[in-house]
């Protein structure tokens, strides 16, 4: 079974065809990148998978189940988590609390348990806290746990957003430009964290990014979009050499790949 199967997806905004009869599949356990020039439709694909945009046609199956038409919370419960192109964290909360918010989406102990602090409440709370510490460790934020989130560097805020997304224990993680604006050292950390996550957490990752140092080095498979249509697909080395990709995306400048 595939982690994602998208068939003939079409998304229109008024007269604009943002995604045009797009089909693709992501294998379970892969890091699969979706790349393409600005405005190609990458974020629109992520937004439709997470139920944010109404679509004009097609089908999106996640782990075999149709999710088109489901609400964002239902899709989240189906095991899908994401980060946003513009980082979204709770700036006033601590780093640790930001991750806990993510796991509260997953675990429920009911109002009674919370009010009377039942053993179940403490059990769930304890395991969420342990989990949050693990996730902060994976993304390299252990030492920043008690800091106010807005005081972190931009790169660390992006890492925090990933940890929070993971706290909902997704099977499928959608990342929208996690490397944008990161420094070279931070990019190496990101690559390492994503490879570790895939290995240890049986996670499938759909990655949208313009940063080739990430895309080309950690992707199992790459799909290239241009004007809402798929123009190429394959292993990094194949896509890197593809003529149409170079024309559309890399401006025929081999150095950028
Ligand atoms: N909510 C919206 N309303 C109207 N048009 C939209 C909306 N969202 C996206 N678009 C348009 O759809 C097209 C695809 O946009 P999208 O944001 O998916 O591109 P992208 O590949 O993520 O680009 P970038 O690399 O710049 O983030 C663009 O022409 C964009 O202007
Ligand atoms: Mg985008």
Q: Which domains does the chain have, with CATH numbers?
A: 1-79+170-257 (3.40.50.300), 89-169 (no CATH)
Q: How many of the other CB atoms lie within 10 Å of CB of 63?
A: 17
Ligand 1 pocket check: which of 17, 37, 38, 43 to mutate, most ligand atoms within 8 Å of Cβ? 43
Digit-coded pLDDT (tens) for 154-211 = 999 999 999 999 998 999 999 999 999 999 999 999 999 999 988 877 899 999 999 9
Flag whether pLDDT at 236 surpasses 80. yes
Strands (E), 46-124: 57-62, 65-66, 80-82
Question: Residue 169 to residues 81, 121, 162, 186, 197: CA-CA distances in angstroms?
Answer: 8, 19, 12, 24, 11
Mean of pLDDT values over 39-48 = 96
Digit-coded pLDDT (tens) for 54-84 = 888 899 999 999 999 899 999 999 999 999 9
pTM exceeding 0.85: yes
At 201 the pLDDT is 74
Flag whether pLDDT at 253 surpasses 60. no
At 103 the pLDDT is 80
Cβ atoms of residues 153 and 184 within 8 Å: no
Task: Tell me if 38 CB under 6 Å of ligand 1.
Answer: yes
pLDDT exceeding 90 applies to what percent of the chain? 74
Distance in angstroms (rounded) separating the CA atoms of residues 37 and 140: 30
Ramachandran angles phi, psi of 243, nearest 5°: -65, -45
Ramachandran angles phi, psi of 34, nearest 5°: -120, 115
Flag whether pLDDT at 256 surpasses 80. no
Flag whether pLDDT at 222 surpasses 80. yes
Question: Residue 31 to residues 143, 176, 205, 254: CA-CA distances in angstroms?
Answer: 28, 13, 5, 24
At 257 the pLDDT is 46
Residue 225 CA to ligand 1 center (angstroms) comes to 12
Cα-atom radius of gyration of the chain, to the nearest Å? 19
At 108 the pLDDT is 64
At 247 the pLDDT is 86
Digit-coded pLDDT (tens) for 224-235 = 999 999 999 999
Mean of pLDDT values over 24-46 = 96
Identify the band that residue 252 occupies on the pLDDT scale cut at 50, 70 and 90: low
More confident residue, 254 or 84: 84
Flag whether pLDDT at 107 surpasses 70. no
Residue 41 CA to ligand 1 center (angstroms) comes to 6
Digit-coded pLDDT (tens) for 119-135 = 777 787 888 899 999 99
Residue 176 CA to ligand 2 center (angstroms) comes to 7
Considering 106-120, 124-138, 214-228, the range whose residues carry the highest mean pLDDT is 214-228
At 143 the pLDDT is 97
Query: Which residue owns the Cα nearest ligand 1 atom 1?
Result: 13
Query: Which residue owns the Cα nearest ligand 1 atom 25?
Result: 38
At 105 the pLDDT is 65
């Amino acid at each position: 079974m595939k982690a994602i199967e998208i068939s003939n997806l079409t998304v229109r905004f008024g007269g604009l065809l943002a995604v045009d009869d797009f089909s693709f599949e992501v294998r379970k356990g892969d890091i699969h990148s979706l790349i393409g020039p600005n405005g190609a439709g990458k974020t629109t694909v992520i937004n439709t998978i997470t139920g944010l945009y109404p679509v004009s046609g097609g089908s999106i199956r996640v782990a075999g189940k149709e999710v088109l038409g489901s609400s964002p919370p239902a899709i989240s419960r189906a095991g899908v988590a994401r980060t946003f192109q513009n980082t979204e964290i709770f700036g006033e909360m601590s780093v640790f609390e930001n991750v806990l918010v993510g796991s509260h989406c997953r675990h429920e102990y009911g109002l009674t348990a919370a009010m009377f602090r039942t053993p179940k409440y403490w059990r769930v709370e304890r395991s969420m806290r342990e989990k949050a510490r693990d996730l902060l460790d994976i993304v390299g934020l252990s030492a920043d746990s008690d800091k106010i989130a807005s005081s972190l560097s931009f790169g660390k805020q992006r890492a925090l957003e990933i940890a929070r997304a993971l706290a909902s224990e997704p099977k499928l993680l959608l990342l929208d430009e996690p490397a944008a604006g990161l420094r070279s050292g931070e990019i190496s950390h990101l690559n390492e964290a994503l490879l570790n996550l895939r290995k240890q957490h049986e996670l499938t990752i759909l990655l949208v990014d313009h940063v080739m140092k990430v895309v080309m080095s950690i992707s199992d498979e790459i799909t290239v979009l241009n004007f809402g249509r798929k123009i190429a697909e394959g292993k990094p080395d194949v896509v890197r050499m593809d003529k149409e990709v170079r024309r559309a995306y890399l401006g025929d400048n081999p150095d950028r790949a």
